[in-house]
Structure 1
Amino acid sequence: MSTTDATSDDGPSEGPAVSSERARWGLLLGASVMSVSLGAYELAPASVTTLIRQSLDIGPSAAGLIVSVMFGTAVVASIPVGVVLDRTNSRHAVAVAVGLLLVAGLWGWYAATIESFALVLASRVLGGLAYVVVWNAGIDVVGRSFEAERQATAVATFTASGPVGFAVGQAAAPLVAETFGWPAVFPVFTALSLVGLALFWPTSRGSGRASDTPTPTFADLSRVVTDRRVWLVGVLGFLGYSLYLFVNSWAPSYLTDELGLTLVASGALSALFPAVGVLSRISGGVLSDRLFGGRRRPVVLASFVLATPAVAAFTSLRGVPVVVAALLVAGFAIQLCLGLVFAYVRELVEPAVAATAVAFLTSIGLAGAFLAPIVGGALIDATNYGTAFLGAGALGLVGIAVAWFAPEP
């Protein structure tokens, strides 16, 4: 397993890798702040959809595309990005990605002020590319900067920045729009990434690449994406993200349409589902490292075992307190594995190609995030909410089966 001591210098002028405990946590904090910025930028348009539709004169599907296009970009770009990261310096790539993110934010603001839907969408594609670079490189650098017995905890803590960013974007975007106009939601949240980069850059010195390993050949990289063990963990990521985005997307509508709650109430209750992930994702790493001695499979298996009945039975529940409890259980259980799988997959391959393994998992996982809301919506239109949630529960059963046969690193 790679640690900070097993990292190389970033270059002749950069000196030795920073290996102090304070530097490790500074690195983790900086990477997490950048990820929070990206998550907020990604989801912010969802909270001002009404304003976007009125300004750009577009329908709900086109407005939804402004958010989902970032997922689609990440699915397509993740593996090529991972290949590049394994053949270059992840630390430098993060700095370039933050620059691209700032450009995307300003571009989106300009496109929105001239009311050009096409240019807004193009700016979000650039933002999606920046997102996948920071996400993959962040996991790569954080993973190698902590010793083996704390690696899953560190990586899971980094991934907890995702739901934090979603919550920040969802809560703050209406306030930003009210004060500065809705186009400001693009640059405001991207600016936060500069704070993260300022923390990350000095503390990540020497952690950009794995040491004592040759530059991976394309044959090495191709072995990663054809490795059966990597594919098994990729399927687990796909199923986990499918459940996560399905519930995120359709629980609010169910609470409004079927239980008669107001939009404000259903939104507030549904926000509990991703919010509990801050605790859950960190807990997944801690449990794996401390309770199970570095084994990953028991935690992933428990995640699907707990989540499956909570999701499948969701529409049969009555009473707001019971529904809230189900959302908390489902949110905690599903996200228990969403941070852990990224530490899991990089441990199945050689350090020199760990970024490619992470990128592969990101691509497969976000494919599930992209498809699940669409398929779920089609199923609800064709049948009803109960059938759709039962279908999601069936995905959980598949997750249990796959986790049962998943390898240990």
Structure 2
Amino acid sequence: MGLAETTGTMTSTQVRKTAALTVGLLMGVWVIDYIDRVMMAVALPFIGAEYDLSKTEQGWLITVFSLVYLLCQVPGGILADRYGARRQLMVSLVLWSIFTALTGLAWGLGALLVIRALFGVGQGLFPGASFKAMAERTTPESRATAAGSMLAANQLGAGVAPLIVAPLILLLGWRHTFWVTAVAGVIIGFMLWKMLPPALPSHLNGSDRAERQGVPLSLVLRSASVWKFAALFCAANMLGYGMMTWVPSYLLEERGISLISTGFMSAVPSLVMCATTFVGGWLFDRYFHNRARLFVIPLLLLTALLLVVMLQAETAIGFTVYQTLALGVAGLSTMGVLGMPFRALPPAVVGSGMGVVNVGGQVAGVLAPVLMGLLVDKVSYTAAFGLLIATTVLAALIAVIVPQRPEQFTFGTKETA
């Protein structure tokens, strides 16, 4: 099944309703997606204690998922472009719910690594399909705002996860907590299947532009512009993965905070980042879609500065305050990083194109947990968080070379920055 189309005309109200319902449903799925991911980070101290794992071994439980998730990005995008978004969304949800439940049945480190790798397959099929579904059901002019809303759900999930997961772990244990979350995934999957609206007509969602341009898939995968944004997303995404994985353990072990307090203090920065990601998408669409560097570079540099101040905080509350400010500013930059390729890619190839960009982001998911775990084992938490400062500055430097406007985002061999 290729790109789905709707025949006839649609009113502006119908177009807005289609976009709003699509955004709402995909936000719900992304929330469950990130609850599933953050749940492992919150449970790490308990899993580590049960199996006597080092910090490096605990980091591998996150990294093995991220590695498989990374490898599935481009294939997942290609499959979404070729067979359509709706079915792939459902396959992804079913698979990751199964392996979330199986995590609670694991009997050792080896079993956990295998299950988390398979969990990465299930979730790895989702991003390309979600971008594809979004591109089919929104107009190009509103796409960055819509994507900002959808991606803000990442941080909403990361924010609410500790508030939900920490009490459940204390009440039920870490194994039963994974089973409860698996049921939630099944419920939201059923809602998505029943309620996802048909795609907009091609002249509204811009898919006719792909036919006029004649962009072959192979050219998208070889596009220097696409890979520049993948590199930028990699460097920028180190911050999110690093904080999500190691802040709960840091607060528990270094600051002596209780699990419930740790859950709350881990949630606040992510919830703030959720709000600023949404605002960043709106600002990018309205003021900066042709001036991405002016938007992204100052925000990334300010984020790095706030991280430096965070490391110097003497109290857990001070640490959380500056972490919140840093992630809030980083959230504003998110749609500057992702908005340009998402606006410029034709809907017919947006799944595979954004799959390539997301490969970069998931390289960060592979590197950040294990590198930071190694730094904690060998040096200190301060050194581990210092790595995130360096990669955030690197993201600002990479932003200098990425295309700023749709006309600069080409698919040929001669591309301008």
With the shorter chain as reference, the TM-score category is 0.7 to 0.9
- State yes or no: 1:205 paired with 2:198: yes
> 1:46-67 deviations in whole A, cap 9, x for unaligned?
3333543566x35245454444
- State yes or no: 1:156 paired with 2:148: yes
C-alpha spacing 1:81/1:58, structure 2 compared with 1 (3 Å): farther
Aligned equivalents of 1:379 and 1:257: distance in 2? 15
Aligned equivalents of 1:385 and 1:292: distance in 2? 36
- State yes or no: 1:244 paired with 2:244: no
Asked if 2 retains the 8 angstrom alpha-carbon contact of 1:105 and 1:190, the reply is yes
> 1:101-151 deviations in whole A, cap 9, x for unaligned?
233234334x33xx3554443333232222122222112211342222321
Q: How far apart are residue 325 of structure 1 and its match?
A: 3.3
- Root-mean-square deviation (CA, aligned residues, Å) is 3.4
Aligned to 1:3: none
TM alignment of 1:6-405, pairs within 5 A: 8-9=3-4, 19-53=14-48, 57-60=51-54, 61-109=56-104, 111-112=105-106, 115=107, 117-201=109-193, 202-206=195-199, 211-212=207-208, 213=210, 220-251=216-247, 260-264=255-259, 265=261, 268-292=264-288, 295-318=291-314, 322-405=318-401
Match of 1:79, SS?
Answer: helix
Asked if 1 retains the 8 angstrom alpha-carbon contact of 2:160 and 2:271, the reply is no
Match of 1:336, SS?
Answer: helix
Aligned to 1:4: none
Q: How far apart are residue 371 of structure 1 and its match?
A: 0.8
Q: How far apart are residue 35 of structure 1 and its match?
A: 1.5
Aligned equivalents of 1:137 and 1:191: distance in 2? 22
Asked if 2 retains the 8 angstrom alpha-carbon contact of 1:47 and 1:173, the reply is yes
Aligned equivalents of 1:187 and 1:255: distance in 2? 26
Match of 1:26, SS?
Answer: helix
Asked if 2 retains the 8 angstrom alpha-carbon contact of 1:43 and 1:67, the reply is no
> 1:367-404 deviations in whole A, cap 9, x for unaligned?
11221233234345555555554443332332222223
- Which amino acid is the alignment partner of residue 353 of structure 2? A
Aligned equivalents of 1:313 and 1:194: distance in 2? 42
> 1:298-319 deviations in whole A, cap 9, x for unaligned?
3322321221211234323445
C-alpha spacing 1:31/1:176, structure 2 compared with 1 (3 Å): same
- Percent of aligned pairs sharing the same letter: 20
Q: How far apart are residue 331 of structure 1 and its match?
A: 0.8
- Compute the TM-score of the two structures, normalised by the length of structure 1: 0.82
- Compute the TM-score of the two structures, normalised by the length of structure 2: 0.81
Q: How far apart are residue 257 of structure 1 and its match?
A: 6.8
Asked if 2 retains the 8 angstrom alpha-carbon contact of 1:102 and 1:191, the reply is yes
- Which amino acid is the alignment partner of residue 391 of structure 2? L
Aligned equivalents of 1:17 and 1:337: distance in 2? 36
C-alpha spacing 1:187/1:16, structure 2 compared with 1 (3 Å): farther
C-alpha spacing 1:385/1:157, structure 2 compared with 1 (3 Å): same
C-alpha spacing 1:105/1:311, structure 2 compared with 1 (3 Å): closer
Q: How far apart are residue 339 of structure 1 and its match?
A: 4.4
Give ranges in structure 2 of 5+ residues lacking alignment.
Answer: 407-417
